[in-house]
Structures are given as structure tokens and as C-alpha cells.
Amino acid sequence: MQMEKFEVNILGCGSALPTTRHLLSSQVVNLRGKLFMIDCGEAAQLQYRTMKLSFSRLNHIFISHLHGDHCFGLFGLISTLGMLGRRDDLHIFAQPDGEKVFRPMLDYFCTDLPYQVVFHAFDPQKNALIFEDRTLKVLTIPLKHRVPTAGFLFEEKEKNLHIVPEMIDFYQIPFCQINALKAGADFVTPDGQTIPNERLTHPATPPKRYAYCSDTLYNEKIIPIIEGVDVLYHESTFCESRAERTKQTMHSTARQAAEIARAANVKKLILGHFSARIKDENVLLTEACEIFPNSVLASEGLVVEI
Ligand SMILES: [Zn+2]
Ligand SMILES: [Zn+2]
């Protein structure tokens, strides 16, 4: 059902530099029609158009770290949104240097931007709540990389109970009481009889969670934070034959991503942030599936339901 939609759109899943096979890191989380961007590598705005995502529904962008392959697309996107006549504030969440880097460029090139760009700084070393609205919470996941880096945990808030329509008819419950019932209230009939909530509702759908972890060295400290998530995106830049290079550059192999997924008991793993040197990512998938069978490869245009 459209109202309950919670999915992640993969715009790019390559690392370091754009190639004809992969664009750079960027994703859009769609929760009930509200769009949240994670990272904004070069060309993200083009892929955004290709995937027919709505620019007007995008109000929040989360940047994991200030490496070019995760943020070089941000400036172009901000400029484009201005040309499209955007009026609403755009909120950008990044480590404190994010504003230092981007503000001077905006001041130089975008003097007549018709909307405000609001930066929100977070501490990438902390597991903290950095955003919430009526339906969603976003928390940081401290990662280990060459520069300060955080992943993001998207967590739906507790949902309402489901009304049993036959019981509403049976007790002739007025419409104005429905929201109270969905929130757990009992119903008192006009003659004073209390009908317990359990008779009138079905349990709520459990809230879902999505974790984005890129870029990072193998790091067991994230396991308790992402424990049991419905979908985990974990970087897998290299395969095991390049374990040395993986360590030097502070990335993970596909096998390590799968080990984290298994230890954290997640439901599904998406592998991404592929090195341009890997010609066939099925090598990564095979490595991961030996440890964690429910693994898939990210690809540009892939949409995964959470
Ligand atoms: Zn990267
Ligand atoms: Zn990086």
C-alpha cells in the first residue's frame, strides 16, 4: 500500500571514481512518500531523474563522510534545486566540516538561491539521534574509516494498532474515537460498559529498520547498533584476495560485510561501494553468500523494500 511504503533506491554503488559500470555512492530512502537522501556522489542528480524521484519530496540529505565519492554531487544538486524554483529549506546533515566546505561554494556560486540550505552538524563518533519526525528516527552509526565517518540507521516509529471494522460497526463506535482506539484506548459504551482495546484492534505492524554502513573497516562495534535490522547496506569494496589493500584503505571485503550481517542477525544484506577494479561483482556475492545467504548486490536503479 502506498501509505506504508518504506524502500531504499540505489542511485550509485561504485567507489572512488565514476565509471561506465557504476555511479558513486548515493541512495534515497522513501518512507511513505517522503524522500531522504544518503550521500550524494557525482551524478546523483542525474540518476535521481532517471529513477523518476520527486525533487519536491526531498528535504533531508545525510552525508556519511567528506570523501569526494560521497559528496561531490551535493553542490550541483543544491544549484539545480535552486533553478527548479525550490522554496522550502533543504536540511543537510554532515560532520561539522560539511558546512565549512560547502558554504563558501554556495556563497560564491549560488548568491540568488531561492531557498535556505540549513546545515546540521553531528559527531560521527557517537551513536546518536540526529533527526526525527512523526514517523521516522535517524541515528548515526560510528564507523572506522580514514576520515570521520558515520553510517545511518533509519528507524520507523511505533505504528498504530489496526482497527477491526466489524467491531466498530458492532459497537457503533463514533468516528471521532477511532484515533484513540488506534493508539490503544478502550471504548466505553453509552451505557458505561468498557470494551477492552484488544477486542477492537489487531496488533500494529512492527516498525522496520534500515542501516547504511559505508565506508568502514570491519568493525564489530556496530553489531549491537544494527542488531536485527530488516535491511543492512554494508560496503564491500574488495574481495578476500585483496585483504591487505582493504585494510590499508580502511574498507571491508564482501566476506567481512557478511560476517557483520550474520553476527548482527539482520534479515537482508545489500553489498555495495564496489572497487572499479572488480570486473565481476559476482565474486563478492559468492564470498558473502558463503557466510550470509540472504545477500544481494547493489546496482544503479535497484529498489529494495525494507
Ligand atoms: Zn567511498
Ligand atoms: Zn571514503
Domains in the chain: boundaries: 2-159+205-305, 162-202
Confidence bin at 4 (pLDDT 50/70/90): confident
CATH dotted code for 2-159+205-305: 3.60.15.10
Q: Which letter does DSSP use for residue 152 in this model?
A: E
CA 15 – ligand 1 centroid, Å: 5
Ligand number with the minimum distance to the CA of 250: 2
Average pLDDT in the chain: 96
What pLDDT digit, counting tens, does each position of 73-91 carry? 999 999 999 999 999 999 9
CA 225 – ligand 1 centroid, Å: 21
CA 243 – ligand 2 centroid, Å: 17
Q: Please give the positions annotated as active site.
A: 69
CA distance 93 to 89: 13
What pLDDT digit, counting tens, does each position of 92-127 carry? 999 999 999 999 999 999 999 999 999 999 999 999
CA 65 – ligand 2 centroid, Å: 7
**Which residues, 6+ apart, have CB-to-CB distance to 126 below 8 Å?**
140, 142
**Which residues, 6+ apart, have CB-to-CB distance to 196 below 8 Å?**
186
CA distance 269 to 273: 13
Contact predicate 76/45, CB 8 Å:
yes
Ligand number with the minimum distance to the CA of 143: 2
- Lowest-confidence region among 17-21, 46-50, 141-145, 268-272: 17-21
% of the chain surpassing 70 pLDDT: 99
Burial of 203 (0-12, 13-18, 19+ CB in 10 A): exposed
What pLDDT digit, counting tens, does each position of 251-265 carry? 999 999 999 999 999
Q: What is the pLDDT of residue 3?
A: 56
Burial of 79 (0-12, 13-18, 19+ CB in 10 A): middle
Q: What is the pLDDT of residue 2?
A: 45
